Amino acid sequence: MLRLIATFIKEFKILIVDRTGITVLFIMPVLLVFIMTLIQHEAYKSLTQSGIPVLLVNKDNDSLGLAIEKGFSKSSICELTIDKGAQYKTTADIKKKMVDGKFVIALVIPENATNALRNDVEGIMKRLFDKNAAIASDTGKVNIEVVVDPTANRSFIMAITSGLKEYIASIKTKVLFQIMGEKIGKLMNIDQKVNMPDQDFFVYKEEYALREGKTFYQPNAVQHNIPAWAIFSIFFIVLPLGGSIIGERSEGLFIRMRTFPGSYLSILSGKLFVYFLVAILQFSIIMALGKFILPLLGLPVLDIGSHPVALITLTVSLSLAAISYGLLVGTIFDTPQQSAVFGGISILIMSALGGIWVPLNIMPHFMQTISSFSPLNWALLGYYELFIKGGDWHAIQYQVMKLFIFFVSALLISYRVYKFKTRLN
Amino acid sequence: MSNQSCITISKITKKYKNSATNALNEVDFEINDGEIFGLLGPNGAGKTTLLSILCGLVKASGGGATIFGHSINDNPERVKRILGVVPQDIALYPTLSGRDNLMFIGRMYGLSGAVLKNRVDECLDKFGFDTNANNQVKHYSGGMKRRINLIGGILHKPKILLLDEPTVGMDVQTRTSIIEHLRQINENEKMTIIYTSHYMEQAELFCNRIAIMDKGRILCLGTPQELMIKEERADLEEVFLKLTGRKIRD
């Protein structure tokens, strides 16, 4: 025990005076989380949250214009500004405001659009009841102008134009039935006006696949980036840990250690324990950042789920996997340079494959298959279960198991390599 | 110094893998309790290999040794507690202070609390350190590093101290001071010292007995005076050159 404590004190003292190590372990991860979360916050917001500024210039002021107004007012994705044509008289006026960044998309419903629609529908009805009736000319068409900010997200533009088409189709159906009702009434000598119900027949209900008893939580930049970059940072322990192991071996310290009574493993355990605590501290700092600091900058508060034991188990497994990888790299390579280059690049590759940089669902299928071999991916999926899907221990048990197997395997391989390198000739 | 042996080396042979020749060839001698024993020889003679076998870093291909009756093959843990080792390379953490390095080494030998602190203070004082013991080792001169490296080997008061070229690269003043300290430790603490060196003059003055090795064999063994009389030479360096030749070794 004394040997373990001695190594712990020694490693701790070495670490606190190592400015580069402290920067790599604590300062860089915090900066990384700050920058990546803030950058990705806008991207997530445009896809998932409200507040996209939309201008609706409604010069119609009849059924069609009012239906579109009503439809977009109910929409959760846009912040609607309605103008009756008083302020924005021309397209140039709209473009000027759009260039200034006031709106992302603008819809212009022309005057008499509803009348034009009615005329069009009446023409269709006429042809239905009288085959010799003339086909309506182009003058009956309604030109709805859509002005778009060229930098706007394409999926958002698609959502708005789809909504517009939906509202037009809906009002066109209503007009169609109204006119058809009037025509049939006339033919059957029934003087009764048909009132179409204002409410939609089909009601869409969005459901989220959640664990039983859990409420919906909207994924956002914070929920993804905080665990993702915490995992990445913890795995970067490979640089100082690998360097420390190699340093000891190359500076003659290793010979002295092997002449100490007792097993070298107890010395190594003390070293690994310090780095284990570093990993836990890194994770705690990054979580605190998401919980208390980022919300001050207008970002959503990090939700860490409601299963602290599962969270601790996953984080402990992740930390063990990371330090065992550092040990492996430090044991295999002979110089700090080799260790730093291989360790750094291998973590970048594993993080890219693991969905840290780019969400897994936009990767090609074969890449998604490869990603399932990255320990960073196992940890990330575990945190998604806890933070987004409201999962508990059962939901993360396979991820924990995989990380633990990785830890044990890396230890065993390191031991074999160590034995091979220090074999008594 | 007694005539009772503390180390008995019996026909130790060592052949490294991928090597055509033996590093040690049936080396067989005894070292007495409390003596300062010099192991001299040109590069590649087998000195470091022999010390490495005694402290458990390398395994002998044949033969064995006992240290105070404990076999190095059967009871290496017990042997490690008896020995203090000062490696040829500086075996210190450069970003820790000299004191912190020694505290770590002391704890690894089971010292703790006031005993450890007092022992570290005592040794630092003996070897000429004051507040500079609290500075990082990387800022020390070569001599200071060597002295801390040496203290690391004696901190736990081992019965036997193995020194592999402890004064290499030091100026004359530091070298003399180190040797004087080692002599005091030997006298006051009755510590047996086994020492390898290329400094013949120093070995002649410092060691009670000397073994000259070459090509894995002991060429001669005795007090410096006995060797000079036997080989009919005026000093140890002449004896050394007579026995090992003048050819430059790799």
- Which residue has tokens 């000093």? B235
| Cross-strand bridge partners of residue B215 | none
Contact A251 B56 (CB under 8 A): no
Q: Is the pLDDT of residue B90 over 70?
A: yes
Residue A48 in this model has a pLDDT that exceeds 60: no
What is the Cβ-side half-sphere exposure of residue A284, based on CA atoms within 13 angstroms?
A: 9
Write down the pLDDT at residue A92: 87
- Of B85, B100, B112, nearest to A256 by CB-CB distance is B85
Q: What backbone torsions phi and psi does residue B31 show, to the nearest 5 degrees? A: -120, 130
Using a CB-CB cut-off of 8 Å, the residues of chain A touching B108 are 3, 6, 257, 260-262, 267
Chain A residues inside the 8 Å CB shell of B85: 255-256, 259
A43/A363 Cα distance (integer angstroms): 17
List the structure tokens of A56: 């609706």
C-alpha distance from A21 to closest chain B C-alpha (Å): 12
Bridge-based pairing state of the strands B5-14 and B24-32:
antiparallel
Domain with CATH 3.40.1710 in chain A: 51-187
Residue B93: which residues within 8 A CB-CB, separation 6 or more?
A: A10, A14, A251, A253, B100, B101, B104, B137
> Which sequence spans correspond to the domains of chain B?
5-244
B77–chain A Cβ distance below 8 A for any pair: yes
Question: What CATH number matches the domain at B5-244, 3.40.50.300, 1.10.3720.10, 3.40.50.1370, 3.40.50.10320?
Answer: 3.40.50.300
Q: Which of the residue ranges A69-78, A203-212, B108-117, B176-185 has the most confident prediction, judged by mean pLDDT?
A: B108-117
Determine the residue among A9, A256, A419 to mutate to test chain B binding: the one whose Cβ has the most chain B Cβ atoms within 10 Å: A256
Contacts of A295 (CB under 8 A, 6+ apart): A301
pLDDT recorded at residue A62 = 83
What mean pLDDT do residues A115-136 have?
74
On whether any CB of chain A is under 8 Å from the CB of B176, the answer is no
Helix axes A221-235, A28-48, angle to 10 degrees: 150
pLDDT value at position A399?
Answer: 94
* Confidence band for B1, pLDDT divided at 50, 70 and 90: low
Residue B57 sits at the chain A interface (C-beta within 8 Å): yes
Please check whether the domain covering A51-187 is classified as CATH 3.40.1710.
yes
Put simply, the answer to whether B107 touches A3 (Cβ < 8 Å) is: yes
Q: Which residue of A has its CA nearest to B103?
A: A6
The contacts of residue A404 (CB under 8 Å, 6+ apart) are A317, A320, A321
The answer, for B80 touching chain A at a CB cutoff of 8 Å, is yes
pLDDT at A193: 63
Q: Residue B137, class by beta-carbon neighbours within 10 Å (0-12 exposed, 13-18 middle, 19+ buried)? A: buried
Q: Is A198 helix (H, G, I), strand (E, B) or coil?
A: coil
User: Which of A253, A255, A261 lies nearest to residue B80, judging by beta carbons?
Assistant: A261
* pLDDT one-digit tens code per residue, A33-43: 888 888 877 66
User: How do residues B127-149 score in pLDDT, each as one tens digit?
Assistant: 888 888 999 999 998 888 888 99
> Residue A375 corresponds to which amino acid?
P
Asked whether residue A215 carries a pLDDT value surpassing 70, the answer given is no
- Per the prediction, chain B carries an average pLDDT of 88
Given this model, what pLDDT does residue A379 score? 95
The rounded distance, in Å, linking the Cα atoms of A291 and A36 is: 16
Burial of B33 (0-12, 13-18, 19+ CB in 10 A): middle
Q: What percentage of chain B exceeds 90 in pLDDT? A: 38
Closest CA to B123 of B74, B170, B161: B161
User: A144: Cβ–Cβ under 8 A, 6 or more apart, which residues?
Assistant: A107, A108, A109, A110, A113, A164, A168
Band (A192; pLDDT cuts 50, 70, 90): low
